[in-house]
């Protein structure tokens, strides 16, 4: 079945909040205790696995998913090469928290070949610098050097890019973003090419208790039903806003892979909801944030409502002071533009 139809027609399981399930004639069945597995989570994993073409393991957040991947599937002292300009939380976790456990992290420009490492971490449409790797070449180089490859595909979603088809070992999504789509559930997922990796992740998940609850998993399943409608529309809105921002006198740089990026165009035919652009300085960025009426001045991305924020408040050492990150939602494009143009 085509993925889009699969999503729209997928079963919506009842939310069973019970943490225990009675044994069957004295034996535990497939569900017995919620930390091990629950019916809604299993259905979410079935859909996510079909979408990405692998074995999906659900976690209570994107960060929980990344933590679990590293702790369960790497060994102490391993080196992770992580794409520069990608999600700052990933770098912070790897180079900060997990360095205490012996993990080594190096950053690299993902538009160039990756360095030697145990795990190479790519992020197409990186958040917030919007760089795009030459995926096939990067994966080939990483593999030739003996590395495994994880791709954080949060921004594009499997509707636009399926990294496992390109030879990646793992796909990571913050499902809190475009997969859920409504800014009402925090979740993450690792989709594995190899079932043995997924089995190891499930074992680690039960042991560590880094487990998603049924309610957010149910919201994710509901959100997935409209993914095939939201992604193209949000991508079209982002492209149109990027083009108009390029012509705006108050804007110096617009970052969006849909703007004349032949490498990105080799892999995807739409470029997702996320873009970033620079105004003169931090004061102007703050003025734009406070002047918006329709676009929410809030963090996060991928939801049905558009969000914009100055990123320097979170990662001042990594981004220009006037950088604004915008995620296009489902509002009318002319309303969005009128709001942005007036605020600028």
Nearest to 242 by CA among 282, 276, 288: 276
Q: Of these, 54, 87, 141, 242, which contacts ligand PLP (CB under 6 A)?
A: 87
Q: Which residue number, 38 or 311, has a Cβ lying nearer to ligand PLP?
A: 311
Answer for the pair 161, 139: CB distance below 8 angstroms, yes or no: no
In whole angstroms, how close is the CB of 119 to ligand PLP at the nearest point? 15
Q: Which residue number, 68 or 261, has a Cβ lying nearer to ligand PLP?
A: 68
Q: Of these, 141, 174, 234, 306, which contacts ligand PLP (CB under 6 A)?
A: 174
- Give the max Cα distance, the chain: 73
Query: Can you read off the two tokens belonging to residue 38?
Result: 């629950």
Strands ordered across the beta sheet of 323-327: 253-255, 274-278, 323-327, 307-310, 296-297
Contact region with ligand PLP (CB under 6 A), list: 61-69, 212-220, 234-242, 304-312: 61-69
327 lies in the site for ligand PLP, by CB under 6 A:
no
* Distance between start and end Cα atoms, the chain: 45
Answer for the pair 157, 179: CB distance below 8 angstroms, yes or no: yes
Site for ligand PLP in 205-234 (CB under 6 A): none
261 lies in the site for ligand PLP, by CB under 6 A:
no
Answer for the pair 244, 337: CB distance below 8 angstroms, yes or no: yes
In whole angstroms, how close is the CB of 300 to ligand PLP at the nearest point? 6
Q: Which residue number, 87 or 344, has a Cβ lying nearer to ligand PLP?
A: 87
In whole angstroms, how close is the CB of 62 to ligand PLP at the nearest point? 2
Nearest to 88 by CA among 326, 281, 317, 329: 317
Mode of pairing for the β-strands spanning 323-327 and 148-152: unpaired
132 lies in the site for ligand PLP, by CB under 6 A:
no
105 lies in the site for ligand PLP, by CB under 6 A:
no
Q: Which residue number, 210 or 344, has a Cβ lying nearer to ligand PLP?
A: 210
Interface residue list for ligand PLP (CB under 6 A) = 61-63, 87, 89, 127, 152, 154, 174, 176, 186, 188
């Amino acid at each position: 079945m085509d993925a889009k139809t699969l999503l729209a027609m997928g079963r919506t399981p009842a939310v069973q909040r019970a943490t225990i399930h009675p044994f069957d004639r004295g034996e535990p069945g497939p569900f017995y205790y919620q930390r091990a597995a629950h019916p809604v989570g299993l259905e979410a994993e079935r859909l996510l696995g079909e979408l990405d073409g692998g074995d999906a393991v659900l976690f209570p957040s994107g960060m929980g998913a990344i933590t679990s991947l590293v702790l369960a599937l790497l060994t102490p002292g391993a080196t992770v090469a992580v794409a520069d300009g990608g999600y700052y939380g990933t770098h912070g976790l790897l180079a900060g928290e997990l360095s205490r456990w012996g993990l080594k992290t190096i950053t690299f420009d993902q538009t160039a070949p990756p360095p030697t490492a145990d795990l190479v971490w790519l992020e197409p449409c990186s958040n917030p610098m919007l760089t795009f790797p030459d995926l096939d070449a990067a994966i080939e180089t990483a593999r030739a050097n003996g590395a495994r490859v994880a791709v954080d595909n949060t921004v594009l979603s499997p509707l636009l890019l399926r990294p496992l088809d390109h030879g990646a070992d793992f796909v990571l999504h913050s499902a809190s973003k475009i997969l859920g789509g409504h800014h009402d559930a925090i979740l993450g997922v690792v989709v594995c090419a190899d079932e043995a990796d997924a089995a190891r992740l499930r074992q680690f998940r039960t042991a560590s208790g880094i487990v998603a609850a049924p309610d957010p998993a149910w919201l994710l399943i509901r959100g997935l039903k409209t993914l095939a409608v939201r992604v193209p529309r949000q991508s079209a809105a982002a492209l149109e806003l990027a083009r108009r921002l390029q012509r705006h006198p108050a804007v110096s740089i617009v970052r969006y892979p849909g703007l004349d990026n032949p490498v990105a165009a080799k892999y995807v035919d739409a470029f997702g909801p996320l873009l970033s652009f620079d105004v003169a300085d931090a004061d102007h960025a703050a003025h734009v944030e406070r002047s918006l009426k329709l676009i929410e001045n809030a963090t996060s991305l991928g939801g049905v409502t558009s969000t914009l924020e100055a990123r320097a408040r979170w990662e001042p050492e990594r981004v220009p002071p006037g950088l604004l990150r915008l995620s296009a939602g489902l509002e009318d494009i002319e309303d969005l533009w009128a709001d942005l143009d007036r605020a600028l």
